[in-house]
Structures are given as C-alpha cells and as structure tokens.
A and B are shown apart, each in its own frame.
Chain A
Amino acid sequence: MLASLTNVTKRYVRTEGLRDITLEFPAGEVVGVLGLNGSGKSTLLKVLAGLLFPSEGTATVFGGAPRRNRARVVYLGETDALWTWMTPQDALRFMTGLYADFDAARFQELLDNLEVPQRKTKAMSKGERGRLRLAMALARDARLYLLDEPLAGIDLLSREKILTSIVKEWHTDETILLSTHEVAEAEALFERVVFLRQGYLALDKRAEELRSEGRSVVDTFREVLS
C-alpha cells in the first residue's frame, strides 16, 4: 500500500476539513479526488503530502509519517506558489539541487512538450505557470503523485496539454491522486473515483464499475454531490 488514511479527521479552528476518512491507495492507480468547493479534497491531499497533520486518526505514506517521507512524494498544490523571479532555468537549478529523483533531461523534454516559455514566472500567463509547475512535478521519478487542481483557471489548450502529459508520464507502478473540478475532461484518466462531501467520504468506487452500471463519472458526480 503506497498510502492510507485511517479514521482521519482534520479540524481547523472553526471547521472540519475531513471527518473520519478511511481510504487506501495501492500502487498503480489514477484516482480522481472529486467534490464541490470546501468538500475536503485539498485537505486530503495535504494530509497525505505531510503539509497538514491529522487531528485524529493516522495518515501513512510508504509505511511512515507523510512528512518524514516527503522526499518520495510529489505534491502539486493548488496555490500558484512559484517565486516571481523564477525562470525555468532557475526551477531546474532549484529542483536538481534539492531532489535526488529529479530528471533534468525529462524536465527539458516536458518544458518543450508543454511549451513553457523561457522567462520569469511573473511574465508568464497563469496557464504557462501551471505548465511549468506540472513539468517540475512530473520530472521527478516518484511513485506517489498528489496533484491538487492542476487544471484550475487554466485555458482549454493548456488543460489538454497538462492532461496529455499526465497520461504520457504515468507508469503502472505509480499512483496519481488528482483533484479537479474539470471532471468531464479528466474522466478518461480515472481508474477510481473518491467523492468527498463536507469532509465525509461520499463514495469510493472504481470507474469501470460505474461505467458497467451505465453511469459516467460526471453523472455520478451530479448524482452523489447534488
């Protein structure tokens, strides 16, 4: 098991981000983490990344505490968090200097494929910055990828490029947890879908099962979360 959550509750000052969630993520899955705004998707990914600590329950990644194993996990947050002075070359310097599993050649290839311009991020569009961040994430050779809203606020063409890259870079021993609102566009990627509603686990099902029942992920999204 690459990652698991056992009875995890995450409390903030006034609200609860997650409520008694138990989930397991084996190797080799592309999991859609879906839900409305404030349903707990980002909290779930942050707990697995080690950015948040559970208030109750246990989160495990590679058999240990997520923060302790952070070097083995790729986390792409929803916040556009690159330094404004950073160019793709700076990003290369940053990643090669800190991550042992970062593949510089793969990064260059991803930059070309995703058409990321060689300029500072402050001079890039939101889509270009999103593609740069994705290239930084996918150029790592990890087994667990946590991608939080990589498609949010990005134009259609960039979204297509991002989804194509995710598909292309995915290996069968890797697990990707992808949270997105663009359910229809990303539907074909998902092997399993986890629906969250107000911090609770509303549904955890294989996409294939849904399809065999004659329902799409989008239909189920509407049905479960409406």
Chain B
Amino acid sequence: MSSLSRFRTLLWLEARRSWVWAVGLIGSLLFWAWGMNQVRFVDPGEQLGVRAVILLVACGIGAMILCLMIGRIRSETRHGQYQVLLLTPPSGYLHTLARFSFAGVVAIVYYIIIGGLAWWAIAQAGLRLDAGSAAQLMLVCPLYGVVLGILPALAWTLLLMVFISSYRISGPGWVPGTVMILATPFLVSWIAEGIWRISYRLPSWRLFAGLRAAIDTAAWEAELEGFEGVFALPQEPLWVMLALSIVVLVVAGRIWQEVEA
C-alpha cells in the first residue's frame, strides 16, 4: 500500500472530521460581507478604512478558528480517536502532513475570498484596479499572508498539541505545554525582528505597479499624493517562514511517534 494512497485516506478523514469547521469558517465570510455592506459613509476613504478594519478582524478570527480546528487533538485523546490514529500504519509525519494540508487548503480558500472582498471594498470606494493589481490583491497578497502568518501558526499549534499529548499519561504534559504557550510571544517577536533585519536583501516583488495609472477618480488624488503606486514585498520573510513551518511540522511528526494514549 503506497504512502500516497494512505495520505489520500488521511486527507479524506480530515475532510470528514473537520468539514463543519471548514464550511462554517468560509460561510462566516457571508456575515463579514454583510457587515461591510452595512458600512456607509459619505467619505469613501473613511468607508474603505472601516471596511478594511472589518476585513482585518475577519483575518484574525479566521486564524484563531483555523488553529482551533487543527488543534483538536485533546478532545480526540479524550474520546479515544487519537488512539485509533496512533496505531494506524502511516507514520507521524504523514498524519501531521495530512492535518496541515487540509487546514492549509481551507486557509488559502478563506483568505483568497477575503482578498476578493478587499477588491470589492476598494471598487466600492471608487478605485478601479487594473487586472494585474486586482489579481495581486486577490491572489498574491492572501497567499503571501497565509505563508507568512497562517501556515506557521498552524504548524506551531499542531506541534503544541502533539507535544502536550505526548507523555500525557505517564508524565506532567502540562509543563512543556505551558512553557510553549508562554514562549510563543517571545518567539514571534524574536522571529519578526530577525526577519526584519534580513529583509530586502533579495530582489523584492513589486505589487500594484499599474494601480496609480488606473486610478481615475479625482477624489483619491489627495489621498494618494506621494504614493508612487508600487509596494515592494520582500521575499525573505516568505522563505524563512516556509522553512520554519516545515521544520516545526517535521518535529511535530517526530513527536507524534512518541505519543502515549
């Protein structure tokens, strides 16, 4: 039996056990879209600002729900399903990868839709984006954000939950768990600082190059004064966070092999 076939089965299992979370999360965007539509101001800049805040809240809540979805190992442990999974032939790495992949796909769909909502909010504010800028807003920005923030958060949550579950029965598992939770803010600030130091050494990605030329609304001229129409997105953070996510996943997969149930 190939690993691919087992991976497909584990993905199917993830989809079956988490589809309510996934559909609920993506469905919640209807609520956020409705909320954004309720925001009506005379000033388009103010309106766009409030709508952007709503989208940021949706981004944050989405990240939390995704972490809760991937981290339900404790309840599985209590109900014994984790025991069933631990005894299946696939390695801990494959189990970890399946969980991470499913959550990652849900995250990508969720944040791409948020990108779409951002485009809608911008269009409502009277800004007409060219096709390239619209695609960058709806695809490149969400994917960049997912790789930079969401995937590492998911990988870290998975590691945290597996770590707490390991040695739970014969040892005080709450100690390493508490240490990891307390260490998280320090770790994040340390990584952010490190990334900031090395950013922009490699060529950056230029986004929204056609934006300035595409804007034909006189009302925006004052707002955009001084803006050259280009965002330079550093690529180093992306690679660093991707590499960190992989390392964390490998560690989680390794610990999975040591979990008692």
Contact = CB atoms under 8 A, between A and B. Distances in A.
Interface of A: 10-13, 46, 49-53, 55, 67, 70-71, 73, 75, 77, 79-83, 85-86, 90, 93-94, 97-100
A50 B83 CA distance: 10
Contacts of A77: 80, 83-84
Nearest to A73: B87
B170 A51 contact: no
A81 B88 contact: no
B27 interface: no
A66 to B, nearest CB: 10
A98 B9 contact: yes
A97 B171 contact: no
Contact of B87 (A53, A55, A70, A83): A70
Give the interface size class of chain B: 20 to 34
Nearest to A84: B79
A79 B12 contact: no
Contacts of A99: 1, 88-89
B9 A94 contact: yes
Interface in B241-261: 257-258, 260-261
Given A83-B16, A97-B5, A12 B169 contact: yes
Nearest to B261: A51
Contact of B89 (A55, A71, A93): A71
Nearest to A12: B170
A81 B87 contact: no
A97 B83 contact: no
Contacts of A97: 5-6, 8-10, 12
B13 A50 contact: no
Contact of A98 (B83, B86, B90, B260): B90
Nearest to A79: B80
B204 interface: no
Contact of A90 (B16, B83, B86, B258): B16
B24 interface: no
B81 A81 contact: yes
Contact of B88 (A10, A85, A98): A98
Contacts of A70: 86-89
6 contacts: A51-B86, A53-B258, A71-B89, A79-B79, A98-B1, A99-B88
